[in-house]
Amino acid sequence: MLHEIYMQRALELARRGWGTTNPNPLVGAVIVKNGEIIGEGYHKKPGEPHAEINALAQAGKKSEGSTLYVNLEPCSHFGRTAPCTDTLIKAGIKEVVIAMQDPNPEVSGKGIKKLKQAGIKVIEGILEEEAKKLNEIFIKYITSKMPFVVWKCAMTLDGKVATASGDSRWITNEVSREYTHWWRYRVSSIMAGIGTVLADNPNLTVRLPNINVEKQPIRVIVDSFGKTPLNFNVLDTDLSPTIIVASENIAKSKVELFKSKGAEVIITKSKDRVNLPELMAELHNREIDSLLVEGGPTLAASFLEDNLVDKVMIFIAPKIVGGRKAPSAVGGKGVDKLVNAWNLKNISIKRLGEDILIEGYFI
């Protein structure tokens, strides 16, 4: 029972890195000796000390003969920082309790092996499922070489994302919108299609009360033919970096105009629409570990049809708008039979004021 209590604290500390650690995992560490917490720490951002090192710094010389609780296997390789295992061994830690192994196939288990070889007792699997849930982004990113993709949409009770005239502000309440901004803060990038950009002229930035957002997520705009107006908010690169993703049919003059605004342009090998699987691989190469898709029905359908969505967040407001021409959440061709429908797993339901949030997974 004590193991679970201290590991829960490690997970709480890890959550403090929400929005700042990408593409690194969320990690917290607690050092315990004689039933007393003598050191705590969490990983704040890439290039800075890992959670274990911060906890050791707080514990000081007391760490000798103590137990370390950490939600992810300590690293044993050189990355942006030195291996944590070497420092733990040198500090005289006698026991390490771990929630989950490092999901990276190239390093998984090596940190544990090194600790055991040094005579340190290792206990694994404490609150493992909670730890995996917390680092779902990192697990997908490091094991599949693809970003973790979250599709988010807000709809009415009758499944509409706007009225027939195109009015969509606001379907959900302020509580739901703030929850969305917390997820914008969590991910590396936010994506919208050209239809949403033209209809709403969104900022696609993080705006949270009492939070100083040091680094805004990258805005990724799917714009096959370069229709984004140069005076639109997504091309204000002082707010946040922007990537315009186009097909091979985009005019070279458009590319140069976007670049003159400070935007980056990615051209995928396709004629009439952006090649999304190719784009996902390219985003991974740029260390973009996660993507929040906030585009409209067309973009949602494309992601679903290409089987690129990992997690779904659907906000449902207690409103009914009706109208045959009012758009629904997913466009495209759709499926011909219910047996071919996309089925969510591991469903959870939250109440956000009068709104309801349904979350689920395809993985």
Residues of the chain with CATH 3.40.430.10: 145-362
Report whether 229 belongs to an annotated binding site: no
Provide the pLDDT for residue 1. Answer: 79
- Domain 145-362 CATH class label: alpha beta
* β-sheet bridge partners, residue 219: 190, 242
* Angle subtended at Cα 351 by Cα 354 and Cα 325, rounded to the nearest 5 degrees: 55
Report whether 75 belongs to an annotated binding site: yes
Give the C-alpha separation, 54 to 75, whole Å.
14
Query: What tens digit of pLDDT does each residue of 16-57 get?
Result: 999 999 999 999 999 999 999 999 999 999 989 999 999 999
Provide the pLDDT for residue 169. Answer: 82
Provide the pLDDT for residue 26. Answer: 97
Provide the pLDDT for residue 165. Answer: 87
290-293 and 148-156 beta bridge pairing: parallel
The pTM score is 0.91
Residue segments in the chain with a per-residue pLDDT below the cut of 50: none
Q: Would you say 226 and 255 are in contact if contact means Cβ atoms under 8 Å apart?
A: yes
Provide the pLDDT for residue 81. Answer: 63
Provide the pLDDT for residue 296. Answer: 86
Give the C-alpha separation, 358 to 355, whole Å.
10
Provide the pLDDT for residue 80. Answer: 61
73 is known as an active-site residue: no
Provide the pLDDT for residue 27. Answer: 97
Give the C-alpha separation, 350 to 21, whole Å.
26
Residues of the chain with CATH 3.40.140.10: 1-137
Catalytic residue among 12, 52, 130, 359: 52
Report whether 241 belongs to an annotated binding site: no
Residues ≥6 apart with Cβ < 8 Å to 79:
none
- The CATH superfamily label for domain 1-137 reads Cytidine Deaminase, domain 2 (3.40.140.10)
